[in-house]
Amino acid sequence: MASPEEVTFGPLLFWSIGMMLLAAGCLLLFLVTYQKRLLLQELRLRMAESAHQQQLLAAVIDAQEGERERIGQDLHDGIGSTIATAKLLVNRLSNRPAPENAPELLAMVEELMAAAVHEARSISHSLYPAVLARFGLAEAIQHLVDVCNETGTLAIELELDYTQPLALAQELALYRICQELMHNALKHAKGATSLLVSLQQHHPHLTLEVADNGCGFAAARLPAGGGAGLRNIDVRVQMLGARLHQQSTPGQGSRFIIQLKAPA
């Protein structure tokens, strides 16, 4: 006959084992549920990242099409019209008898062809700046500023402190941003008398700044439906993983600052 202690210990043992099994089951259920939530969260993040990449790709394609359209317009309005005019003058020179002002017409043809060559080189440089590949970002921006200063449209001041080069793709993106911002300032900053272009490298950041003292604008950010140039800037800033800061007030000019992490 079992003792009272054995009778009491048996149910207690089964109860303890049952509680342990229940606790283990609850823990297993919690782990499975938690793992499922993690997987769902990771899936949502991947879907969001995929959607962002698709949007970025669409923006890149749109920006490329905008650049092609602008280059086509430059070819049509610049080189195309220049060569067409030169062709008309050559046709006049080919008449018999030759016109009395043939020397003047020939000089005009030579001048037009020289302008066409200069325009072709300018477009070629805008497609891919050879000075960037050969000498780096600082020299490329220096050359860009020098060319713009030769036009005499606006006095451009340049500040450079760039000692640690980035990868060529990053330098090209920064050059394109600088080129677009300068183009916008020269075209749209009415009343401006000066333009500042600054490239400063202070670890851990690299900062590109383009500022003018022109008419400014009221928008606080790049408009979603803005021109192709503005979309190009926005896309390249995203591709660089950089940040774009804008400061502009009507009548007080505009200031664009692009900041990204510099290499150690």
pLDDT digits (tens, 9 = 90+) for 67-85: 666 777 777 777 788 888 8
Instruction: Read off the tokens for 36.
Output: 């499922």
Instruction: Read off the tokens for 189.
Output: 């900053």
* Strand ranges inside 37-187, DSSP E: 155-161
Q: Is the pLDDT of residue 220 over 60?
A: no
Instruction: Read off the tokens for 207.
Output: 């900062």
Q: Is the pLDDT of residue 128 over 70?
A: no
For residue 97, say if its preceding peptide bond is cis, omega within 30 degrees of 0.
Answer: yes
Instruction: Give start and end residues of each alpha helix (H) in 75-101.
Output: 81-93
Radius of gyration of the chain (CA): 33
Distance, first Cα to last Cα, the chain: 83
Q: What interhelical angle do 137-151 and 168-188 show, nearest 10?
A: 20
In percent, how much of the chain has pLDDT > 90?
A: 14
Is the model more confident about 256 or about 147? Answer: 256
Beta bridge partners of 245: 257
Going by pLDDT thresholds of 50, 70 and 90, the confidence category of residue 223 is very low
What mean pLDDT value characterizes the chain?
Answer: 80
Segment 92-120 mean pLDDT:
81
Residues in the chain: 264
Phi, psi of 109 (to 5 degrees): -60, -45
| CA quadruple 99, 104, 110, 113: dihedral sign | negative
CA atoms within 13 Å, Cβ hemisphere of 264:
0
Q: What is the pLDDT of residue 37?
A: 87
Could you tell me the pTM of the whole model? 0.60
